[in-house]
Amino acid sequence: MVLLRRRSTTKDTNDSAVRAGEAAAAAAHASAPPRAPGEDGLPTRIGAAFFDLDNTVMRGASIFHLARGLYARRFFGARDIARFGWQQARFRLGGEHMGHVGDAQEAALSFAQGHTVEEIRVIGEEIFDECMSDKIWPGTRGLAQMHLDAGRQVWLVTAAPIEIATTIAGRLGLTGALGTVSETRDGVYTGRLVGELLHGEAKAEAVRALADREGLDLTDCSAYSDSANDIPMLTLVGDPCAVNPDARLRRHARAHGWRVKDYRTGRKAARIGLPAAAGVGAVAGALVAGTAVRRRVPGRV
């Protein structure tokens, strides 16, 4: 059992979010050692960059792409995939209210319980290559590479499971990832989370904990996200940037003088139409897929 350092919470930060953030930081591992000061003629690293995943680095919801890949491997029955698709659509369309986050949490847990960490890690690598690799925003990828070239750490910060988030970070050549941590026993998922989904305030807690561990000065760090739900994380750093922002984040960014980057084509359609279209498409795709799925494999989740 891993014991996590706990700190006092404030009225704005619930205990579950702190626990999730500290668990994410404890599970995060850099893919390469930091460069020495001045090595290869590069400047000394004084900070890091933190990137949200869904609709910031990758088009669409990573957890839905994961669900599609798991469906193809018969992890889900017809009712499961339909329910999962509906919950994900509600999560996106309903403003990501905490009740919807709870539903998404339940769905996220359902696929892993009883499976081994190694099994999910290998499947995650396969699913990234099959379903996710062609959905990376080139513009955001370029921003990440700019930070890497400057000798800075670059971390994904996402509600996706830490195993999947780490795979994506590795495939993109990033430093590492902060993601949702699930409880395991003897290398097998129990079906419970450590804390909660890495979402909203929990992301900010993860970034704080990682900064403490890595000795980062957050005023010299950057953060990128598409969602107003990530304002707590964006507010932590000295250089926040809204990428492909939703309407609420765009307003907030403009009011506070933050940078805004939009890599979508047809800005008005992207800002207003695509979230709804993506959500409806997720439901339709899940329901259509469900009609063809075979019975759940005995012994599978």
Supply the CATH number for residue 260's domain. Answer: 3.40.50.1000
In the chain, the number of structural domains is: 1
**Is 7 contained in some domain?**
no
Q: Is residue 183 part of a domain?
A: yes
Distance CA 237, CA 208 (A): 10
- pTM for the predicted model, two decimal places: 0.77
d(CA 136, CA 55): 9
Q: Is residue 38 part of a domain?
A: no
173: left (phi over 0), alpha (psi -120 to 50) or beta: left
CB atoms within 10 A of CB 227: 24
Position 20 in a domain: yes
Cβ pair 75, 298 in contact under 8 A: no
* CA–CA separation, 62 and 73 (whole Å): 17
94 assigned to some structural domain? yes
The reply to whether 54 belongs to the active site is: yes
Active site residue 52: yes
> Domain residues for 107?
16-30+45-292
Candidates 54, 80, 226, 230; catalytic one: 54
Q: E strand or H helix at 63, and its extent?
A: helix 62-72
Catalytic residue among 15, 52, 186, 220: 52
153-161 β-sheet, strand order: 176-180, 153-161, 48-51, 222-225, 239-243, 259-261
Beta-bridge partners for 136: 58
Instruction: Say if 4 falls within a structural domain.
Output: no
Q: pLDDT tens digits, the chain, 301 residues: what are they?
A: 333 333 434 444 588 899 999 989 999 988 755 555 455 555 454 689 999 999 999 998 887 788 778 878 877 666 666 665 665 555 555 444 444 555 555 555 566 778 888 988 898 899 999 889 999 999 999 999 999 999 999 999 999 889 989 999 999 999 999 999 988 899 898 888 888 889 899 999 999 999 999 999 999 999 999 999 999 999 999 999 999 999 999 999 999 999 999 999 754 434 433 443 344 333 333 333 332 333 333 343 3
